[in-house]
Amino acid sequence: MAELACLNGRIMPISEAKIPIEDRGLQFGDSIYEVIRAYSGHLWLLDRHMERLKASILALNITGVNLNEVESQIKMTLQRSGIGDAIVYLQITRGVAPRSHAIPQNITPNIIITVRHIQKFPEELYATGVKAVLVEETRWARRDIKATNLLPNILAYNEARRRGAFEAIFVDQADGMVTEGSHTNVFAVINGVLRTPPADHRILPGVTREFVLWLASKEGIEVDVSPLPVSELMEAEEIFLTGTLTEILGVTLLENKIVGTGTVGTITKRLHSAFREEVRKAIESAA
């Protein structure tokens, strides 16, 4: 099993993959990305990731991308690597051109794929829950585009680490509304109802977030997708985070306040169990 890169259709060791210095992804962050998880060789929710990728491409008007070829390259690289439990990173840059703020026309995008062994979170985190902290929302207004301009997310995440927390949750200071985590979406159970902010321009429409909403409906859990004030989040009975790597992870400490009873909540556990069952069924059906 080997960790591999695929650069514009050519598979190679990751250390050999190179892009020109004038690539606009490097110079301007003029690029988009997706992170896809493979369970036992099965690319989980690939269709939904590709749909979101298409939306990002259209939003930034990146031309010259054949999505069918991109999907084939993802599958080919994963298969060639031989890694069953993998993290697949896909980045599409606008391409190479002399540095200028003006967007050049008719350049060829660079398509970069890496397949690596996944670094799983310890299972005890799902049993005990994690700490999260609140940080001020400082990002641009189009968080619905999965662009590679992630410096505010990185700074927020490292602030959370400095404060002994797993995740930083952004709060818009203009209206006191929760948006999302530095690398996760946020859910809360308030008065028995599952709450999460709407997928507008202020959050990334997480693939796992969307799947959890479907799971909740399937499980008969009442859901309210609407703006979530931080004051209500602070009083939630349960809080959990969702993401491709995170799956569904309970928050039992917010800032220095115990969430609910201080243990991972019933709805959080129920949804994570249902999530894992859907993964199991998908792996079996693909075998």
Measured distance CA(59)–CA(205) in Å, rounded: 14
Instruction: Indicate the pLDDT class of residue 207, thresholds 50, 70 and 90.
Output: very high
Choosing from 84, 117, 150, the residue where a domain stops is 117
CATH code: domain of residue 147? 3.20.10.10
Instruction: Taking the CA atoms of 14, 114, 165 and 269 in sequence, report the sign of the dihedral they define.
Output: negative
**Pair 146, 227 in one domain:** yes
Q: Residues 66-91: pLDDT tens digits?
A: 999 999 999 999 999 999 999 999 99
Choosing from 69, 95, 117, the residue where a domain stops is 117
Strand order in the sheet with 42-43: 10-13, 4-7, 110-117, 86-93, 31-39, 42-43
Indicate whether 209 pLDDT > 90. yes
Instruction: Tell me what the pLDDT averaged over the chain comes to.
Output: 97
**Pair 235, 251 in one domain:** yes
**Pair 170, 253 in one domain:** yes
Q: Which residues contact 23 (CB under 8 A, 6 or more apart)?
A: 93, 95, 96, 110
Nearest to 260, CA basis, from 178, 170, 190, 160: 190
**Pair 175, 270 in one domain:** yes
Average pLDDT, integer, range 48-61: 98
CATH code: domain of residue 110? 3.30.470.10
Indicate whether 287 pLDDT > 90. no
Q: Which residues contact 151 (CB under 8 A, 6 or more apart)?
A: none
Strands 185-190 and 4-7, bridge-based pairing: unpaired
The residues that are catalytic are 146
| Dihedral Cα 196, 154, 110, 115, nearest 10 deg | -80
Q: Residues 20-48: pLDDT tens digits?
A: 999 999 999 999 999 999 999 999 999 99
Q: At what angle do helices 207-218 and 46-60 cross, to 10 degrees?
A: 130
**Pair 87, 160 in one domain:** no
Structural domain count, the chain: 2
**Pair 179, 49 in one domain:** no
Indicate whether 286 pLDDT > 90. no
Q: Residues 104-162: pLDDT tens digits?
A: 999 999 999 999 999 999 999 999 999 999 999 999 999 999 999 999 999 999 999 99
Choosing from 62, 87, 117, the residue where a domain stops is 117
Which domain covers residue 186, as residue numbers?
123-283
Indicate whether 188 pLDDT > 80. yes
pLDDT of residue 1: 85
Nearest to 246, CA basis, from 166, 160, 191: 166
pTM: predicted TM-score of the whole model, two decimal places: 0.96
**Pair 68, 146 in one domain:** no
